[in-house]
Amino acid sequence: MARAPFQLGEHIIMPGQRLQVDVPVARLYTHTPLHIPVEVVHGRKDGPVLLVCGGIHGDEINGVEIVRRVLRAKAISSIRGTLIAVPVVNVLGFLQQTRYLPDRRDLNRCFPGSESGSLGGRIANLFREQIVDHATHIIDLHTGAIHRTNLPQIRAQLRPGSETERMADAFGAPVVLNAELREGSLRHYAQNRGIPVLTYEAGEALRFDEWAIAPGVRGVLRVMRRLGMLTGEQRHRTPAPAELAKGSSWARAPIDGILRPKVRLGARVAKGEVLGKVADPFGNDEGEVRAVADGIVIGMSRLPLANEGEALFHIARFDEIDEAETAVESFNSSLVPPPDSFY
């Protein structure tokens, strides 16, 4: 029996076809229409419907490049199932190079949205109805915020033996955080509807970090293989098993001043270890930033200027920290060219 066509709005995509679609989302003040760009790859054989999206936060652009490279991978020319690829969800934020929408709302706190609500609510509602509700699986691509960078990591709500756990295991990031759902997020909406979702966090806003992009592309393709959407052998070696973090916390600035970091992203640290020092421009007042727990640095500020209480180093805690350190080192060594400890 021939596979049914895939419908996205008014567009019909036949089996074996790929089509770029512009989904109307809003109008500018000039009455110029604005669209969310989407590409659908509809395989000839049945399978999952995987949504891969980036740019829900408009300044998080590593995901845009990940989506572009996935779409250029030769392997997806003969996929089973359907790939819905959305490089930029928050088009308005992307144009303004900002995380937020013009009304300062965070689109990733607006789901499921509404037809008559705020701009964020209306965009979330449209994206949900037109795109998200078609998906059986989702990979949502993010980075750290402005002036913050993240070690490549997966965040997901994990249950033993769940489809989400299978996807997280396949992706190949060195660290997995069993993260609680945040109300209003895409992950919260989809997971509550039974759609397994991975959030990939890597790199920094408004930057192309190759050490975050290349593993992201490989991770998406690995998940597609695990879901049976791709056939054939993978080109890259299987990564070391990711380590599941049992929690995370931030080390914060003890005083106002200028930060001089002593550790790098991905470093193993011990509770009480000095991660950096904050001092005024003269060096008269100086405070030490100390690790709040044993763990791995999975995120950190890239801006040396700090106010008292500001989050500077994000530390993930593990039951088996030796294994976590090995996973990070293995991941680091798999990158060509290798990064300078992700910094």
Q: List pLDDT tens digits, range 174-227.
A: 999 998 899 999 999 999 999 999 999 999 999 999 999 999 999 999 999 999
7 pLDDT band, cuts 50/70/90, is very high
pTM of the model: 0.94
Q: What is the pLDDT of residue 332?
A: 82
Class of domain 6-227: alpha beta
Q: Nearest 5°: phi and psi at 52?
A: -120, 120
Q: Is the peptide bond before 337 cis (omega within 30 degrees of 0)?
A: yes
Q: Where would I find the beta strands (DSSP E) of the chain?
A: 6-8, 11-13, 17-27, 33-42, 45-54, 80-86, 137-142, 148-156, 175-178, 197-204, 243-245, 247-252, 257-261, 268-269, 274-279, 286-290, 295-301, 305-306, 311-317
**Are 18 and 42 spatial neighbours (Cβ–Cβ below 8 Å)?**
yes
260 pLDDT band, cuts 50/70/90, is very high
Tokens of 220: 């998406």
Q: Where are the domains positioned within the chain? A: 6-227, 246-335
340 pLDDT band, cuts 50/70/90, is low
Q: What is the pLDDT of residue 6?
A: 96
Question: What are the C-alpha distances in Å from 90 to residues 135, 170, 175?
Answer: 19, 28, 27
Q: List pLDDT tens digits, range 115-139.
A: 988 999 999 999 999 999 999 999 9
Which carries the bigger pLDDT value, residue 332 or residue 254?
254
Q: List pLDDT tens digits, range 211-222.
A: 999 999 999 999
Measure the CA–CA gap between 44 and 297, rounded to whole angstroms.
Answer: 44
Q: What is the pLDDT of residue 243?
A: 81
Is the dihedral angle over the CA atoms 192, 193, 199, 204 positive or is it negative? negative
Fold of 246-335: OB fold (Dihydrolipoamide Acetyltransferase, E2P) (2.40.50)
